[in-house]
Amino acid sequence: MKFWLNHHHKAAFEHARLLTAHFSKSFYISARMLPRETRWATYAVYGFCRYADNLIDNPRHRSRQELLEEAEFLMKELQIAYRTGESEHPIVNPFIIVARKYNIPIEYPMDLLRGVQMDLQNTRYQSFEDLYLFCYRVAGVVGLMMTHVLGYKDPAAFKYAENLGIAMQLTNILRDIQEDKRMGRIYLPLEELQQFGVSEHDIINEHMSENLRQLMKFQVRRAHQYYESSAKGVAMLHRKSQFAIYAASKIYRGILYKIEARHYNPFLGRVFVPQVKKVGILLQEIFRTRVIALPERV
């Protein structure tokens, strides 16, 4: 019997599907175009990642220590689930089935939860090396897990997947500077703020200066470089899955272009790619990779 139809796990997989549909409509549309088994495995991985993210994004009325303990509990549950192959936790249940089926190493979901803990404990990052570790944990490992699920023809695909995860998290950071500072967080490395003559108070007080513009330009260029360094890896995935990653990369990179169009000012409200544009990109990539199989133009 197909793993998502097993009566012991069917409700948990359906829960993961609903989480995907609720929290990421664009990703859900993309996932529905994948082969059926890959689709349900994707829901399980996304559901776990979303659940972990929501410990911070939807923290309820819990103290930081209580949230840290919640993440710690989930780490312990994962360790037991990897050992036994089962869990009654509603989101670990489908994830562990998929993780064991697709040989997802336990280090990946554990690193994701360590990233959640970092975000609870840190409101500043001194260097880009410090920020990179955070980006790897909350986004790079998601790319690595998805590479196992989507299927790959060359193990070199994993490094490219990590790069894409870094690119997308850097994009999130640049998009959310205004929102994050309102919550007391500044993700841009402090060393680089100092290098460009920008103070924390400039960001907190939304003081848009030429120095900040140049800093933003530098950060956007770095994110573009990670997108470019990830591009070769998509062709290493199984053909029927390639469209999803090409589309995700183009959609997220579109956020950088929107930031550029605003002359790098992060205080004009959140930028986004319209839903109709996202669907257009997705359909274009499905046609290009699965119908006529044209090579990607970088």
Question: Whole domain around residue 107: which residue ranges?
Answer: 1-121
Q: State mean pLDDT over 168-182.
A: 97
What per-residue confidence (pLDDT) applies to 26? 80
Nearest Cα neighbor of 233 from 170, 165, 287, 133 is: 165
What pLDDT is recorded for position 157?
A: 97
Q: Hey, what amino acid is at 148?
A: H
pLDDT in tens, 98-134: 999 999 999 999 999 999 999 999 999 999 999 999 9
Closest listed residue to residue 186, CA positions, set 128, 131, 134, 125: 125
**CATH number of the domain where residue 138 is located:** 1.10.600.10
Mean pLDDT of 12-25: 94
Q: Do residues 146 and 291 share a domain?
A: yes
Note the pLDDT of residue 298.
Answer: 46
For the chain, give the mean pLDDT: 94
The CA distance from 132 to 219, in Å, is 13
Picking from 65, 89, 121, the residue at the C-terminal end of a domain is 121
Residue 258 pLDDT grade (very low, low, confident, very high; cuts 50, 70, 90) = very high
CA-based angle 89:91:94, to the nearest 5? 100
Q: 43 and 15: one domain?
A: yes
CB-neighbour burial class of residue 7 (10 A; exposed 0-12, middle 13-18, buried 19+): exposed
The verdict on 129 and 111 lying in the same domain is: no
Confidence of residue 83 (pLDDT cuts 50, 70, 90): very high
Both 241 and 103 in a single domain? no
203 CB neighbour count, 10 Å cutoff: 21
Given a contact cutoff of 8 angstroms between Cβ atoms, the answer to whether 94 and 43 are in contact is yes
Q: Shortest CA distance to 79 belongs to which of 49, 48, 107?
A: 107
Cβ-contact 48, 74 below 8 angstroms = no
pLDDT digits (tens, 9 = 90+) for 179-224: 999 999 999 999 999 999 999 999 999 999 999 999 999 999 999 9
pLDDT for 296: 52
User: Does the pLDDT value for residue 67 go beyond 50?
Assistant: yes
Give yes or no for residue 12 having a pLDDT over 50: yes
Q: What percent of the chain has pLDDT over 90?
A: 89
User: 129-157: per-residue pLDDT in tens?
Assistant: 999 999 999 999 999 999 999 999 999 99
pLDDT at 292: 63
- Of 121, 147, 166, which marks where a domain is finished? 121
pLDDT of residue 241: 94
Same domain, 140 and 106: no
Mean pLDDT to the nearest integer, 35-50: 96
Task: Please answer whether residues 206 and 133 qualify as being in contact, where contact means their C-beta atoms are separated by less than 8 angstroms.
Answer: no
CA distances from 220 to 20, 81, 105, 168, 253 (A): 28, 40, 32, 11, 10
Contact status, residue 229 vs residue 253, Cβ threshold 8 Å:
no
Of 121, 137, 159, the residue that ends a domain is 121
294 pLDDT band, cuts 50/70/90, is: low
d(CA 15, CA 21): 10
Please state the domain count of the chain.
2
Provide CB contacts within 8 A for 98, sequence distance 6+: 3, 41, 44, 45, 104, 149
Same domain, 267 and 152: yes
Summarised one tens digit per residue, pLDDT across range 277-287 is 998 999 899 98
For range 73-78, the mean pLDDT: 98
